[in-house]
Structure 1
Amino acid sequence: MVERAAKQQLRVGRLLKAHGLKGALKLELYTDDPDGRFVPGATFTLQVPQDSKWHGKTVTVQEFRWMNNHPVVFLEGIEDRNEAESIVRAILWIEQDQAEAEAQPEDDAWYDHQLAGLDVVRDGVVVGKVSRVDHLPSHDLLIVRMDGEEVMVPFVSAIVPEVDLAAGRVTVTPPAGLFEELPDDAPATPDAEGPAD
């Protein structure tokens, strides 16, 4: 039996806004090697809303450059500002061999399957498990299963400061109220007939 090498999807960037009049787009980078990822001819799949004209399509890099310390990309077929505006906020994904990904790990970058099933630890105590990862335009969410309920945890360093794949856990420092209901500030008062005249 011949097994095909496992492929994984790796998120490498998001198109922030149109830049100039010739179809360039500013990038938010999710890779440590932008000059290696965004070479001419590199093709990316797009994560866009289903009603977008770009849904189900791919884009190919024509040129990548740095302008005033900002990464900017030109994509094939996008030649003016109006067309660039139509693809703003799209997230770019690339298919990568699992072996390549493990040989060249990126800081602060994990595959969904690596995160799913990890213990969620708060103050040294396991409070739940990661059931899945939801990808939003602004940031990702870890969906944590605890006590039969799901809690949405923003996957940002301020709330999830550590991911330890070897130990099988993520450490969380959530704000008050994320994992539990906050008590009412005002003490409960018994029913009263109302103020006396």
Structure 2
Amino acid sequence: MKLTVARIGRAHGLKGEVSVELHTDIPEERLVPGEALETEPAAAGPLTIESVRTQSGRWYVRFDEVTTREGADAVRGVELVIDAEESDEDDAWFVHELVGLAAVRPDGEKLGEVVDLLSMPAQDLLVIKQPDGHRAMVPFVEEFVPEVDIDAGTVTLTPPYGLLSGETPEATGETHGAS
């Protein structure tokens, strides 16, 4: 099984540099000059990293095989992947392992179902489809997602008031002193 490290984004400049959307907590170890990474689709690679830089929180990569803007445009959307056995990231899950899990409170109250995982610059977001059809985005951080239990088919959530539809401050323990 393959683990996605990053997805190639837009071309940056005229000489083949691209932005990448990270799917790893350790990009400085995964995106190393000289490293050849497999791709999905496989026909697009492998791609060998020539250089890596960050600017304003974004990561930019240049590959030996991509030397023009047209080449960079051609690899947009390609995923850089590694064998899952090579992953040494703690608490790392595949998106397909999370999708379909029941989202519950610590007391077992069902809040909905995980339907997606979005990778954002600050942190990943779990997308939860609630019974009323509302889609809530919960930051995938330990404070709000203290437990993922793949075997039990659940992800425990402790989101702050306001992230889920139809809740009251009392339900989240965030009452702010009554008058």
Q: What's the TM-score bracket when you normalise by the shorter of the two chains?
A: 0.5 to 0.7
Q: In 2, distance between residues paired with 1:135 and 1:93?
A: 17
- Code of the aligned partner of 1:45: E
| 2:3 maps to 1:10 | yes
Q: Which residue matches 1:53?
A: none
Query: Does the Cα contact within 8 Å between 1:134 and 1:140 map onto a contact in 2?
Result: yes
Q: In 2, distance between residues paired with 1:95 and 1:125?
A: 36
1:171 offset after TM fit, Å? 0.8
| 2:103 maps to 1:80 | no
Query: Which SS does the other structure have where 2:45 is aligned?
Result: strand
1:96 offset after TM fit, Å? 2.6
> Residues 38-82 of structure 1: CA distance to partner in whole angstroms, max 9, x if unpaired?
453211215xxxxxxxxx853332224333555332235432123
Query: Which SS does the other structure have where 2:40 is aligned?
Result: strand
Q: In 2, distance between residues paired with 1:87 and 1:100?
A: 24
Aligned counterpart for 1:61 among listed residues 47, 71, 78 = 47
| 2:139 maps to 1:156 | yes
Aligned length: 159
- Paired residues for 1:32-71 under 5 Å: 32-38=25-31, 40-45=35-40, 57-67=43-53, 71=59
1:12 offset after TM fit, Å? 1.6
1:25 offset after TM fit, Å? 1.0
Deviating 4+ runs (over 4 angstroms): 122-125, 134-141
Say which one has the larger Rg.
Answer: 1
CA shift in 2, pair 1:144/1:91, >3 Å: farther
CA shift in 2, pair 1:175/1:144, >3 Å: same
CA shift in 2, pair 1:94/1:163, >3 Å: farther
User: What runs of 5+ residues in structure 1 fail to find an aligned partner?
Assistant: 1-6, 47-55, 183-197
TM-score, L = length of structure 1: 0.56
Q: Which residue matches 2:21?
A: 28
TM-score, L = length of structure 2: 0.60
Quick one: percent identity of the two aligned structures?
A: 22
CA shift in 2, pair 1:134/1:30, >3 Å: closer
Q: Which residue matches 1:144?
A: 129
- Code of the aligned partner of 2:129: V
Query: Which SS does the other structure have where 1:165 is aligned?
Result: strand
> Residues 122-153 of structure 1: CA distance to partner in whole angstroms, max 9, x if unpaired?
4855233425436689976534363xx54423
- Code of the aligned partner of 1:71: W
Over aligned residues, Cα RMSD in angstroms?
4.0
Q: In 1, distance between residues paired with 2:86 and 2:6?
A: 19
- Paired residues for 1:72-151 under 5 Å: 72-75=60-63, 77-88=65-76, 90=77, 92-94=79-81, 96-97=83-84, 99-101=85-87, 104-106=88-90, 109-122=92-105, 124=107, 126-130=109-113, 132-133=115-116, 142-144=127-129, 146=131, 150-151=133-134
CA shift in 2, pair 1:33/1:155, >3 Å: same
Q: Which residue matches 1:193?
A: none
Q: Which residue matches 1:179?
A: 165
